[in-house]
Chains A and B, each alone.
Chain A
Amino acid sequence: MADLKDTVFKARVLDAEMMRRALTRIAHEIIEKNTGIDDLAVIGIRRRGVPLAERLAAIIKEIEGVSVPVGILDITLYRDDLTTLAVQPIVHKTEVPFSINNKKIILVDDVLYTGRTVRAALDALVDLGRPKLTQLAILIDRGHRELPIRADFVGKNIPTSRKELIAVNVEEIDGMDNVEIHEFV
């Protein structure tokens, strides 16, 4: 569960079945847009981008019958707010056990909001090599971009106010699959 301190529940926008369908559609779109899965690799952004990336890879395998490499990106060392935080965030490992050179990289995260996480992820990726191209797959796009960044694949667009919080729950971390809107009080 995301940190829901000082928030109240407003609405459930996706249940487990809707999440599964959205991911299945994204997987199909990824294959279609790239005309197959040659040189494709999926990289999830910690934390909830990781299980979503693994699920996308699993669905792609079901459809195409071939496994695509899956990696994990930790963007902590690339954050642009390190100088404003009082305490250093805990860093975790980046685990990309394959060369990303000349690969088509599908970057995966749960929510696209300001775009700052994706900016950091792109920088982190560049330090690992030079992909042929990078595309962005997002479960929830909630708007309010602060950088010129957009997603190539979106599970659901949910217009939000800045006073709201999108809680994406995934079985692997939270014990359940759903997406909820909460509001800060």
Chain B
Amino acid sequence: MWRTKDLLGLEEHSADEILSILDTAEVMKDIIYRDIKKVPTLRGKSMVTLFYENSTRTRSSFEMAGKYLSADTSNLAIANSSVAKGESLIDTGRTLEAMGTDLIVIRHSAAGAPHLLAKNVKSGVVNAGDGMHEHPTQGLLDLFTMRQKKGNLANLKVAILGDIMHSRVARSNIWGLSKFGAEVRVVGPSTLMPPEVEKMGVKQYYNIEKALAGVDVVNVLRLQKERQKKGLLPSLREYSQLFGLTNERMALAKEDVLVMHPGPMNRGVEIMTDVYESTHSSIDEQVTNGVAIRMAILYLMLGGKSAYENIN
């Protein structure tokens, strides 16, 4: 069974470990649909969400997941915290630990911030997105959604479309999918393609029509307007015309293609509204699956003895 103090990325976890998370999430998903959406499993465990970047679905879904499992969840509002007075990440983490926090969920604009925190606290640490590195729970919920809709992950052809360079979602997807032997294609403008991306075992495309031909899944990334340095894109309009997912382009993929998006969407830029509203889209279901995946993670990391007791 999967056991770890921290969940920092998918790169370092095996296919078997990932499968045990997905299987646990299947059970958790049923709980979300019950009349009484609560089980007593994590009574007396506490978790804090520590988000140095904005978030709607990741943070609230971690909080909901914790509440459904009876953990005590709290949220540190960074803007109103001592971080504004200059408290360091490590000191903030130690403070939360000293209050008896079992698990810290952190999002940070700097890649590696969760690793730094994890090294300095005994509490478990979950990476909820660090810079351009990884977003493991998003990767897991994407794998979960693909498995649910398509069955086996091994034979899938998956196109990841858009701003690959800035995307931690893309990286977690690539690590996860490649462990199961899926074919991963990345497609986007050359200015938004990370150097040497092919070393991750993916096929690189600059032409969306070629990339989408015959794929089972299109995972559309959000164009991260806040991270665009001047000069990477001539204009949003041009990006949309060259790389936006339209019904016509979707038709190039397999007939039963699954369209995914981690949210929040820029409608009319990377994805057209009629694609989102189509029967191919699993974008709303991804949100539900995100709660199930986070419940699975919390169960596996928080249950049992205190997370750190087992490590030392």
Contacts and interface: CB of A to CB of B under 8 A. Distances in A.
A85 B310 CA distance: 10
Given A77-B39, A78-B41, A88 B303 contact: yes
Interface in B20-44: 20, 23-24, 26-28, 30, 34-36, 38-41, 44
B303 A82 contact: yes
Interface residues on A, range: 20 to 34
B304 A88 contact: yes
Interface string A107-150: 00000000000000001000111000000000000000000000
A78 B39 contact: yes
B1 interface: yes
A74 interface: yes
A33 interface: no
A87 to B, nearest CB: 5
A95 B39 CA distance: 15
Given A91-B24, A127-B34, A83 B305 contact: yes
A77 B26 CA distance: 14
Main secondary structure of the interface of B (DSSP, over half): loop
B41 A77 contact: yes
B237 interface: no
Contact of A93 (B26, B69, B299): B26
B89 interface: no
A1 interface: no
Given A82-B304, A86-B310, A129-B35, A77 B3 contact: no
B27 to A, nearest CB: 5
Interface residues of B, number: 24
B20 A94 contact: no
Contact of B40 (A88, A91, A94, A123): A123
B134 to A, nearest CB: 23
A80 to B, nearest CB: 9
Main secondary structure of the interface of A (DSSP, over half): loop
Given A82-B303, A83-B304, A84-B305, A90 B41 contact: no
Contacts of B310: 86
A127 B26 contact: no
Contacts of A92: 27
B305 A90 contact: no
A21 to B, nearest CB: 36
B300 interface: yes
B29 to A, nearest CB: 10
B66 to A, nearest CB: 14
Contact of A88 (B26, B28, B34, B300): B300
A72 B164 CA distance: 44
A90 B1 contact: yes
B303 A93 contact: no
B246 to A, nearest CB: 39
Contacts of A86: 304-305, 310
Contacts of B305: 83-86
A90 B299 CA distance: 10
Nearest to A124: B39
B1 A94 contact: no
B20 A82 contact: no
A3 to B, nearest CB: 16
A85 B309 CA distance: 11
Contact of A77 (B1, B35, B40, B44): B40
Contacts of B26: 93
Nearest to B26: A93
Nearest to A95: B30
B27 A93 contact: yes
A82 B40 CA distance: 11
A74, A77, A83, A92 pick with most chain B CB within 10 angstroms: A77
Nearest to B1: A87
A84 B24 CA distance: 20
Nearest to B302: A88
B38 A127 contact: yes
26 contacts: A77-B39, A77-B41, A78-B39, A82-B41, A83-B305, A85-B304, A85-B305, A87-B304, A88-B1, A88-B3, A88-B299, A88-B304, A89-B1, A90-B1, A90-B23, A90-B24, A91-B24, A92-B27, A93-B27, A93-B30, A94-B30, A127-B36, A127-B38, A127-B39, A128-B36, A129-B35
Given A83-B304, A86-B304, A127-B39, 4 more contacts: A88-B1, A88-B303, A88-B304, A93-B27
Interface of A: 74, 77-78, 82-94, 123, 127-129
